């Protein structure tokens, strides 16, 4: 079947040698998935999820039992006081913008302590001028970069916290950077440090791509809000849209009032027939995340063995599902994405090309032959066409599909002469 799908013997032989070495890592991933699966089941049982919860509502959405129970489940999974989980939250950037704008006021300052935020947040904050940004509403922004080893710079964080610092933002995953992803434990230490200086500061974590990779979440370590997208890990590949914010009751109430209207808050917002997908996606999320994580580990080992710089490297612990591979030349990024697209069940015949995507400061190429448009828990890869010319691979609803995607990416690079496998196979032996 691999030959029928265009995978040549040199590629498959090289990959199989590496796969045998990964069996212990894969067992660890499966054990974490089992723990998180039981955690989700327990939360659903405690919230008394029933078939009636899948019915949904229209119009105003008053008394939507399924919606309210789902938010109770999320709060239990993330061990928070409350949660907001809605199809009206259109994407991860929207969820983050909602959490920020709801909890910041004119004169407040937002402080990022994990360096530059993800590209699409630059316009939300106002780093790049944009209509409706926080800067237009009088919210200032400051930033503390991570240290060269990827850890928090506590000395500079202390110096950066001022009386007007209202919120600290921490981005768990790397975004379009080649820095390490932050563990829930690292984030917890930073939150404890910030709260020791001023316990009133709201600590918000951009949790995208990190859910269910570890057994504990940043909210278990004191985060006031954790924020993410349902078309990433927690949607399990079934959620067609949506985002979540889980955190303190006060933060969630403010977010609900910003999402809908003051005076209405969480009481309105129809679920529009998506509740079963939300519930079932969350149920599947731990095992789907494990499949994506195996794909990321496999990709790291493949491309590190070929001599490319990969983040994380082949052996270090994993805290999100994203694997960065730094090619150093644009053709490598494009060829990798062509391979991922060719492995898709949807639009496999399409050739991805770089283009000027909204919210980014350079052309971006995206490979995403997905059942849900833009779903990055499904097999996908993307990257900005600018130095260091790194591609960011993520997703795979099943391990066999994640594996196929990596093999197709390698096959495309091999066919174009960008990698040599013969010497690498002998090295693996």
CA distances from 223 to 3, 78, 79, 206, 310 (A): 48, 10, 10, 10, 29
Q: How far apart are CA 333 and CA 386, in angstroms?
A: 10
Q: How far apart are CA 30 and CA 24, in angstroms?
A: 10
pLDDT of residue 70: 98
Q: How far apart are CA 65 and CA 55, in angstroms?
A: 9
- The rounded mean pLDDT for the chain is 95
The domains of the chain are located at 9-36+283-428, 56-273
CA distances from 327 to 297, 364, 409 (A): 17, 15, 13
349-394: pLDDT as tens digits: 999 999 987 777 789 999 989 999 999 999 999 999 999 999 999 9
51-95: pLDDT as tens digits: 999 998 999 999 999 999 999 999 999 999 999 999 999 999 999
305-342: pLDDT as tens digits: 999 999 999 999 999 999 999 999 999 999 999 999 99
| CATH architecture classification, 9-36+283-428 | Alpha-Beta Complex (3.90)
* Neighbouring C-alpha atoms within 13 Å toward the C-beta of 29: 24
pLDDT of residue 380: 96
CB-based contact 293:321 (threshold 8 Å): yes
**CB neighbours of residue 29 within 10 Å:** 21
Instruction: Tell me the pLDDT band of 101, cut-offs 50, 70 and 90.
Output: very high
8-57: pLDDT as tens digits: 999 999 999 999 999 999 999 999 999 999 999 999 999 999 999 999 89
pLDDT of residue 91: 96
Angle at which helices 330-342 and 399-415 cross, to 10°: 130
Instruction: Tell me the pLDDT band of 174, cut-offs 50, 70 and 90.
Output: confident
Produce one character per residue of 219-234: b if its CB has 16 or more CB atoms within 10 Å, e if not.
bbbbbbbbbbbbbbbb
- Please give the CATH number for the structural domain made up of 56-273: 3.40.640.10
Instruction: Tell me the pLDDT band of 182, cut-offs 50, 70 and 90.
Output: very high
pLDDT of residue 428: 43
Nearest Cα to 171, choosing from 111, 130, 129, 212?
111
Of all residues in the chain, the percent with pLDDT exceeding 90 is: 93
CB-based contact 192:214 (threshold 8 Å): no
Tell me whether strands 243-247 and 225-229 are parallel, antiparallel or unpaired.
antiparallel
Q: Which residue has the tokens 């890592």?
A: 25
CB-based contact 55:66 (threshold 8 Å): yes
Name beta bridge partners: 367.
381
The single-letter DSSP state of residue 355 is B
């Amino acid at each position: 079947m691999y030959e029928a799908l265009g995978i040549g013997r040199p590629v498959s032989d090289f990959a199989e040698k590496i796969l045998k070495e990964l069996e212990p890592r894969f067992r660890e991933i499966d054990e974490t998935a089992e723990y998180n699966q039981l955690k989700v089941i327990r939360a659903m049982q405690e919230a008394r999820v029933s078939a009636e919860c899948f019915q949904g509502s229209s119009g105003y959405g008053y008394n939507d039992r399924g919606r309210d129970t789902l938010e109770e489940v999320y709060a239990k999974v993330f061990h928070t006081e409350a949660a907001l989980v809605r199809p009206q939250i259109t994407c991860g950037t929207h969820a983050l913008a909602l959490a920020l704008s709801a909890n910041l006021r004119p004169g407040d300052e937002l402080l990022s302590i994990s360096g530059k935020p993800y590209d699409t947040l630059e316009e939300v904050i106002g780093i790049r001028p944009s209509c409706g940004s926080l800067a237009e509403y009088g919210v200032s922004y400051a930033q503390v970069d991570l240290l060269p080893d990827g850890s928090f710079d506590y000395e500079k964080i202390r110096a950066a916290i001022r009386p007007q610092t209202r919120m600290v933002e921490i981005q768990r995953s790397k975004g379009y950077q080649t820095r390490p992803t932050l563990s829930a434990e690292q984030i917890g230490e930073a939150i404890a440090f910030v709260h020791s200086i001023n316990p009133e500061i709201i600590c918000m974590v951009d949790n995208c791509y990190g859910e269910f990779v570890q057994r504990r979440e940043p909210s278990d370590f004191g985060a006031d809000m954790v924020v993410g997208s349902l078309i990433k890990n927690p949607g399990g590949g079934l959620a067609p849209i949506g985002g979540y914010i889980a955190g303190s009751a006060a933060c969630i109430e403010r977010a609900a009032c910003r999402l809908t209207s003051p005076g209405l808050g969480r009481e309105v917002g129809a679920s529009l027939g998506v509740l079963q997908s939300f519930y079932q996606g969350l149920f599947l999320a731990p095992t789907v995340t494990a499949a994506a994580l195996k794909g990321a580990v496999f990709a790291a080992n493949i491309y590190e063995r070929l001599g490319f710089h990969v983040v994380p490297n082949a052996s270090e612990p994993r805290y999100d599902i994203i694997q960065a591979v730094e090619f150093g030349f644009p053709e490598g990024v494009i060829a990798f994405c062509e391979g991922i697209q060719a492995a898709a069940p949807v639009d496999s015949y399409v050739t991805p090309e770089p283009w000027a995507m909204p919210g980014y400061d350079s052309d971006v190429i995206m490979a995403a032959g997905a059942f849900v448009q833009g779903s990055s828990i499904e097999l996908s890869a993307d990257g900005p066409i600018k130095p260091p010319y790194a591609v960011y691979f993520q997703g795979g609803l099943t391990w066999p599909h994640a594996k196929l995607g990596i093999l197709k990416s390698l096959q495309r690079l091999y066919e174009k002469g960008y990698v040599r496998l013969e010497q690498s196979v002998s090295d693996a032996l």
